[in-house]
Structure 1
């Protein structure tokens, strides 16, 4: 095997990163219904890790697979996924439909953000049941607020930095496909584009990552700065008559 180094002697890493949000989940549907109804509790059918795709989410994963079928065999790199059911099912359906033979690597660092005591609560539910936490969240903003028993976005960034370092070691010269969650895709942008907290929160307040959307970063040669080539694309869904779904979180993200 050849060296993993570049011509200037530096070590090379992955050359591309394709980020895919899971298809619409039963939890997405339940959360949107709860918010629209002004309910305090989201009626999810299982713990967060076990909530699977909705019928629409499965259609989205199949449409994603038809997109992946067009990727040449030689360009198909490693595939990693969040172990949460909605992401794992999206990856499995898409790869099977696309004819990819890669084994899916499951990694807990790609799981969704842990919400601790706020799990299964809408914003109205947090205000009603934990008003002090609601005030603390407003004061700190979304990036640094850590709910009791949960994670802040800054906490999630730490595990993503660890994952990126491992991808560079394990898959130098490859483009890697990751299936994960909307918050993680935003935080990958924070890391790879070297955004400030304010820039990240401005983006989060105005942009929703669509279900089964595709974003792509490239870094030719495996070293140097990353370039965001595309973000939040869902043309592969509309091309096959599959609904494009938008299930956003709380848009109140800035400290105040």
Structure 2
């Protein structure tokens, strides 16, 4: 649960829920840089220095997290999040910690495994070319099923990720009116939060994924003034705060081939 008391027990269920939800993609990671380099060079394997949960922010990613914190510091105190929850993956947790410290918010960053990135199983660290060369049957199956339903052996489909996100999003409905929550996570997670909250069809989410790359350290904002009913998308994928502070805006997109073929 997002909110627990000092004894580790959840507070009593309330009649209404959170009124604002901020979604933050982590800053540029060393894995983002390595994946882009591998794709551009035609390599089959992405050379990353650690397993996916342990990949750190790049130098640029650290600058982005600080710039994010500076932007968040401008939020009036009464409108600041009262909970910041991060994916446990290093790149997300580092982004959250740096941003909260820079903003000067007296909050402890919580972690929740449901916000972790999609697990790729046997395809981990492989480029699209690497998958086609080493696992041609999987490459064919991925094309046939499309990104929403294709699950690599040992990994997750996007539908699997959406399923675990539904439970954490449901918890936003039981926090009591007035709460504001910030989630620091990953590009696929942010897209799939949209899929869940907006009731998108398979075609709609895949169209969005094919045409939109969630920018590093970008901000997506949902609101619902009464704390009940559907969420309204106020803004999506905003990274103006980076350019305004002279920090690089980076785009590290996944495979654009997402529709079933």
TM over 0.5, yes or no?
A: yes
Give structure 2 stretches of 5+ with no counterpart: 1-11
Q: Distance in 1 between matches of 2:34 and 2:243?
A: 23
Match of 1:66 among 70, 74, 83: 70
Query: Is residue 186 of structure 2 the alignment partner of residue 158 of structure 1?
Result: no
- The match for 2:61 among 57, 63, 74 is 57
Check conservation: 1:83, 1:106, Cα contact below 8 A: yes
2:195 is matched with which residue: 190, 197, 201? 190
Aligned residues: 249
Q: Secondary structure at the match of 1:221?
A: coil
TM-superposition CA deviations, 1:15-40 (whole Å, max 9, x none): 11100000000000000000000000
Selected match of 1:27 from 5, 28, 31: 31
Correspondence for 2:182: 177
How far has the Cα of 1:81 moved from its partner?
Answer: 0.3
Q: Structure 1 length as normaliser, TM-score?
A: 0.95
Which one of the candidate residues 241, 245, 248 is aligned to 2:250?
A: 245
Task: Name the stretch that deviates more: 59-68 or 158-167.
Answer: 158-167
Tell me by how many angstroms 1:4 deviates: 6.8
> Given that residues 4 and 172 in structure 1 are in contact (C-alpha distance below 8 angstroms), is that contact kept between their aligned partners in structure 2?
no
After TM superposition, give the deviation of residue 75 of structure 1 in Å: 1.9
Q: Which residue pairs with 1:127 in the alignment?
A: 132
Decide whether the 8 Å contact of 1:68 with 1:98 is kept in 2. Answer: yes
Distance 1:155 1:172, change over 3 A: farther
Secondary structure of 1:19's aligned partner = strand
1:162 aligned counterpart, secondary structure:
helix
CA-to-partner distance for each residue in 1:141-186, whole Å, 9 max, x for gaps?
0000000000000000111001112233246421100000000000
2:217 to 212, 215, 219: 212
- Whole-angstrom CA distance in 2 between matches of 1:172 and 1:211: 30
Corresponding residue to 1:43 among 31, 42, 47: 47
Report SS of the residue matched to 1:243: coil
Alignment partner, residue 116 of structure 1: 121
TM-score between the two structures when normalised by the length of structure 2: 0.93
1:17 aligns to 2:21 (yes or no): yes
